[in-house]
Amino acid sequence: MHATSLRGNNGPRYRHTEIDHGPYQTLRVEKLTPVIGAEISDVDLSQPLSEQQQQEIHRALAENQVIFFRDQTISKEQHLAFGQLFGELHLHPAAPHVEGLPALMKIHADEHSSRANGEGWHTDVSCDEIPPMGSILHIHTCPPHGGDTLFASMYAAYDSLSDRMKGYLEGLKALHDGEPVYRGTYKNFGVADKPVYPHAEHPVVRTHPVTGRKALYVNRGFTSHLIGVPRDESAGVLRYLFEHIENPLFQCRFRWRKNSIAFWDNRCVQHRAMWDYWPNTRSGHRVTVAGDKPY
């Protein structure tokens, strides 16, 4: 495997990885499902990683779309440093962060919360002109039951569309709008609203810059409407795509334990966090890696 840092035509630096397909030498990789997800072991993220370990983690993410690590006791600084192995860090346009560490987002819900992060299917911050490449979530406080996160492969969702639907979607763009998602959302954290929130047009089908595979790139959380078609047609097509994306055949489900980490590729994965644990607490931090402009 070979990894290099590149600057895209319209975006910040990200890590481009050429994938090889031999056996892993420094990690153990166990698939969760044939379609998406793998658990990674035999690595301690609190310790400096060798170049080969870094390359094999890159490869595992590219091959499995979301990867999971158990029993990782890492500091805030180690969490940030792990994210920086994959590129520059992305700053969330709305969510609260740890004081003095703007790239470390707070993830927290308890008995006093009116909402929890990520309750509906979405791709992180797809409303940005240059959306994140990936998100790395470290949960250190878990409820006794519940709080799982579901992940869905947008490769599988695209591949299973009919040829007629693929032809219809080819070249289409959609508007992703952060305004209805973020305004007032973090009031319970004491975060004041910004005058405006980002919005952007992105292709409905994007090509992954590492694997070259096509993935659906619309989501319930941010996608407002298709560009250049009547609104009723847009609503009908998006309704179909949203329901299609949520097919359990495209999914894996991760059960959190204390000090687990999930790292998902926002370019080809959607996720949904289950808030089924009230009034218990689920808490952690998320680091997000900057991406490249969808094409």
**DSSP per-residue codes, 243-275:** HHHT-GGGEEEE---TTEEEEEETTTEEEEE--
Non-local CB neighbours of 97 within 8 Å, separated by 6+ positions: 103, 104, 105, 106
Q: Note if the pTM is more than 0.75.
A: yes
Catalytic residue IDs: 122, 124, 271, 286
d(CA 217, CA 226): 12
Read off the pLDDT of residues 24-51 as tens digits, 9 standing for 90 and up. Answer: 999 999 999 999 999 999 999 999 999 9
Q: What pLDDT sits at residue 17?
A: 43
Q: What pLDDT sits at residue 122?
A: 96
Q: Which of 66-75, 174-183, 235-244 has the lowest mean pLDDT?
A: 174-183
Read off the pLDDT of residues 270-290 as tens digits, 9 standing for 90 and up. Answer: 999 999 999 999 999 999 999
Q: Phi, psi (5° rounding) for residue 135?
A: -130, 140
Q: Is the pLDDT of residue 15 over 90?
A: no
| Rounded average pLDDT over 226-241 | 98
| Rounded average pLDDT over 58-82 | 97
Q: Is the pLDDT of residue 61 over 80?
A: yes
Range 78-104 burial, b when 16+ CB lie within 10 A, else e: bbbebbebbbbbbebebbebeeebebb
Respond yes or no on whether the N-terminal peptide bond of residue 96 is cis (omega within 30° of 0): no
The two beta strands, 38-41 and 66-69, are: parallel
**Range list of β-strands (E), the chain:** 2-7, 13-18, 28-31, 38-41, 66-69, 97-98, 101-109, 134-141, 149-153, 173-177, 199-203, 205-207, 214-216, 223-226, 251-254, 260-265, 269-273, 282-289
- Across the beta sheet with 251-254, the strand order is 251-254, 149-153, 269-273
CB contact at 8 A, 36 and 63 = no
Which residue from 46, 74, 82 is spatially nearest to 140, judged by alpha carbons? 74
Whole-number percent of the chain with pLDDT over 90: 83
Bigger pLDDT: 255 or 186? 255
Which residue from 160, 135, 159 is spatially nearest to 149, judged by alpha carbons? 135
Q: How far, rounded to the nearest angstrom, does the alpha carbon of residue 106 sit from its chain's CA centroid?
A: 16
pLDDT bin (cut points 50, 70, 90) of residue 20 is low
Q: Is the pLDDT of residue 6 over 80?
A: no
Q: Which domains does the chain have, with CATH numbers?
A: 2-289 (3.60.130.10)
Q: What pLDDT sits at residue 160?
A: 98
Non-local CB neighbours of 43 within 8 Å, separated by 6+ positions: 26, 27, 49, 53, 57, 69
Non-local CB neighbours of 240 within 8 Å, separated by 6+ positions: none
Q: Which amino acid is at 6?
A: L
Could you tell me if residue 125 is left (phi over 0), alpha (psi between -120 and 50 degrees) or otherwise beta? Answer: left
